[in-house]
Every structure is written in C-alpha cells, then in structure tokens.
Amino acid sequence: MNTPDATLVGKRVKDMHGAPIGYVVGTITDIDGTVQTVGVDRGSGGLEQIPHHQLVVQPDVVIYIPMWRLDSQKLLREKELALRRIKALMSIVRENDDMREDAELIHEKYRTKLASLDELQEQIRAKLEFRLAELDTQLKSVKTLIFDARVQNKSGEIDDEAFESVKSHTSRLVEQITREHAEITAVQRRITDLSVKVQEAMDPEVSLQDSAASYLGGDRAAAEKLPEAPTHSPPGADAGDIPRPPAPAPVPTAMGQPAPPEGADGAAPRTSWLARMESQ
C-alpha cells in the first residue's frame, strides 16, 4: 500500500533521462490513507498532480515515468503471456487429442482477451505517434535555437564563448530527445513483431496468406486478376474470322523483278510471248 511519506516533500523530480521537472510539494491521499497523486511544483508551469504509480521514489530524487511507457510495458507483458499460453495449449492438444474439447474453451477465452488487447494496442499506438510528433517539434525548436546562435556568432553579436555555451546546454536536450525517440520507435517495433507472432499462433494459414500478399506488394486482388491466355475463340466468331499472319512478300528474281505468281498446279502461268513461240 502506498502510504504518505513525509520525506517525499521537497525532493527533486526528474524524468527518466535526468532532466529536472520540479519539486514535490505535497500529496493527495484516499480515505484509506493511500497516496493517489503527488503535487509537483513545475515553476512557471504551475502545480501538477502526478499519479503516484508514475513515480519511482529514490533516496535523493523522484523519477517520473511517462504514461505511454507504462501502458506499453503492460501491453507487451500481457501479450507475451497470452502468446506463451496459446503455444502451451497447442502443445497439450498435439500430445493428447482427447483434450481438444477442453482446449477449445480455453482457446476462446484467449481470443477474447487478445481482442481486448488489440483495442488497447491501437490506443497506445496513437499515444506513441502523438509523442513522436511532440519530440519532432521540440527537436526542430532546439535546432532553430542553435542555428540562430551560430548566426549571432558570425555576425559578431555574441562571442565564441557564448556560442559554445549555447551548444553545450542544447546538446543535452538533443540527446534526451533523440534517446526518447529511439525508445518509442523500439517499442513500436516490438508491438508490431509481437502482433505478428500472436496472429501466426492463432491462425497460421491466414498469416501465411498475408505474408505472401505482402511479398507480392500487398495487393492480393491485383495478383488474382492477372490476364490469362484465351482457351477458345471469342463468342460469335468462327475459325474464318480469326486473323491470320500476312503472306510473305514475293521473292525478287535475278533481274530485280518480282517472281511471277504460281498457278493452281504450282507452275508459273505462261506469258503471251511464250505461248506464241510454242505455237510456231
């Protein structure tokens, strides 16, 4: 049970990367005495009530854990456990087929649980995308500040020492933003990979078909509509209507003139002067 701790008041609050957030100024407890929220003075940001489960109390500092990280860890733990149980269930059925009916009941229970986790997963993905957009905006702002300081240095408005001081202080911000961005990207990748493994365990055949469609470019419908060679003549057309290739051009003779066409019996037709010579 989270009970009020008098030593908590006055402690510094930092994020996971060591950046200062503020100071603890008090707590709000439930009727049974458990701590619900911790009041943190964030300076010009005012007083913020942070849920107690988002704080890790250490001897000299309090660490703030963002909600997206807690939700992601919970989702991954529950999905990994469900995946292990599904695999164990299938192994039991393979070893003893008589337990198939009992296994079906448990299998349906896991399906229902995974369906609820899928809904939670979409909400977490939206939170992660929103946080990435925030980090991108912060990184652009820091880079703009550094570049403007460089311009001021080149124009003689600030000396080299002041410019190096700006770079030193902002480099820590860039490092923190980059580190959190990489962590969120890694969490997104783990969620995607685990979802694929769960799908394969629940329905291997569907997963195999999806993988094949992805390999072909993700458009299974387009792959199924490939043109096929015709196996019969078009409706309403007979053999005489089918186009034939053009006849070859006549072969020229030695004098460069086209050879005379052959007769019906294969012999060349007699010309008029040859007929007169034979009649003489």
* Final residue belonging to a domain, choices 65, 93, 113: 65
Specify if 13 maps to a domain.
yes
**Same domain (yes/no): 74, 42:** no
The count of domains in the chain is 2
Quote the tokens at residue 219: 């458009």
pTM value is: 0.62
- Dihedral angle of Cα 140, 146, 149, 153, to the nearest 10 degrees: -140
Specify if 160 maps to a domain.
yes
**Same domain (yes/no): 188, 86:** yes
**Same domain (yes/no): 95, 18:** no
CA distances from 262 to 100, 128, 258 (A): 83, 84, 12
Separation of alpha carbons 190 and 197, rounded Å: 11
CA neighbor of 147 nearest in space, from 163, 133, 161: 163
**Same domain (yes/no): 182, 107:** yes
Beta bridge partners of 56: 63
Domain that holds residue 32: 8-65
**Same domain (yes/no): 118, 194:** yes
**Same domain (yes/no): 33, 131:** no
Per-residue confidence (pLDDT) for residue 244, from 0 to 100: 55
**Same domain (yes/no): 169, 47:** no
**Same domain (yes/no): 19, 136:** no
Per-residue confidence (pLDDT) for residue 165, from 0 to 100: 92
Q: Say which CATH number the domain at 61 has.
A: 2.30.30.240
CA neighbor of 25 nearest in space, from 49, 61, 52, 59: 49
Specify if 249 maps to a domain.
no
* pLDDT by residue, tens only, the chain of 280 residues: 565 566 788 899 999 888 889 999 998 988 888 889 999 999 888 899 999 999 999 888 999 999 999 999 999 999 898 888 888 888 887 877 777 777 777 778 888 888 888 888 999 999 999 999 999 999 999 999 999 999 999 999 999 999 999 999 899 889 989 999 999 999 999 999 988 888 887 765 444 344 444 444 444 444 444 445 445 544 544 445 545 555 555 555 444 455 555 544 444 454 454 455 445 5
Specify if 203 maps to a domain.
yes
* Final residue belonging to a domain, choices 177, 209, 241: 209
CA distances from 116 to 70, 79, 85, 191 (A): 17, 11, 17, 15
* Final residue belonging to a domain, choices 50, 65, 80: 65
**Same domain (yes/no): 16, 97:** no
Separation of alpha carbons 28 and 46, rounded Å: 17
**What is the three-class DSSP state of 140?**
helix
